[in-house]
Amino acid sequence: MNSSPSSLQIAAFVPMRHNSERVVGKNYRLFAGRPLYHHIITTLLNCPQISLVCIDTDSPMIMEDAAAQFPSVKVLERPEHLRDGAIPMNEVLLNSVAQVPADLYLQTHSTNPLLRAETISQAIEQFLGQSEHDSLFGVTQLQTRLYDATGRAMNHDPEVLLRTQDLTPVYEENSNLYLFTKQILQERRNRIGYKPMMFAIDRQEAWDIDEEIDFRVAEFLYTVQQTSA
């Protein structure tokens, strides 16, 4: 993109629904003594390149709490037709960018409480310092033997038993971090553009909370980090 962060308006979005199926009330459930979403909001506010942090939500609880705890954060009330859990995130983001003008948008989740401000800043700097890619998304490097649903090897030859650390890496989209422009989102109806940059994040930092076990492991990892800091 080859632009200076100081010359750009970068808006960060954190979408949060009031209800969640697999982990009840996870967005505002206490995580190491604070509501889960407080962690990522605090992280984003500590990123100097980010001009504005926005919460998109249908939760009266989050709206009220965010207004009290994070007065500088812009809260967008999600319209009724976008509140169903089956609605694609890209449709939610299209509604958000229509309300918040910016040169570049960042999106992450409350379910990434271990993501660090330094990592987000590094991703922004790398993306802005190049011109080949039109978007960025976070990935986790995997070096493990993968198979498809039919039992066919995907990334290795079962006849050649390489050590896993010697396998060619593959990458998992980890839902931690996305950078995109309004133009890309509108043209593609997708936050990942035509020529995206993959930004690798350490597996422990990229822990994403989907299920109860994820919540407990992430909280344990967070507590260990705080104790050893």
What local confidence, expressed as pLDDT, does residue 166 receive? 84
Whole-prediction pTM:
0.92
Strands (E), the chain: 10-16, 30-31, 34-35, 52-57, 74-77, 104-107, 135-142, 170-180, 196-200
Percent of the chain scoring above 90 in pLDDT: 79
Instruction: Name the band, by pLDDT with cuts 50, 70 and 90, for residue 1.
Output: confident
What local confidence, expressed as pLDDT, does residue 102 receive? 97
Alpha carbon separation from 85 to 22, 66, 162 (Å, rounded)? 12, 22, 42
Q: Average pLDDT in the 186-197 region?
A: 96
Q: Is residue 114 scored above 80 in pLDDT?
A: yes
Instruction: Name the band, by pLDDT with cuts 50, 70 and 90, for residue 38.
Output: very high
- Please check whether residue 47 is in contact with residue 117, taking contact to mean a CB–CB distance below 8 angstroms: yes
Side chain identity, residue 218: A
Q: Give per-residue pLDDT as tens, 124-176.
A: 999 999 999 999 999 999 989 999 999 999 888 888 888 888 888 989 999 99
Tell me the domains of the chain and their CATH numbers. Answer: 5-137+174-228 (3.90.550.10)
- For the ranges 5-9, 147-151, 196-200, which has the lowest average pLDDT? 5-9
What local confidence, expressed as pLDDT, does residue 165 receive? 87
Closest to 109 in 3D by CA, of 8, 15, 3, 204: 15
Q: Is residue 4 scored above 80 in pLDDT?
A: no
Instruction: Name the band, by pLDDT with cuts 50, 70 and 90, for residue 229.
Output: low
**Collapsing DSSP states into helix, strand and coil, what is residue 113?**
coil
What local confidence, expressed as pLDDT, does residue 5 receive? 59
Q: Average pLDDT in the 30-56 region?
A: 97
pLDDT averaged over the chain? 93
HSE (side-chain half, CA atoms, 13 Å) at 48: 7
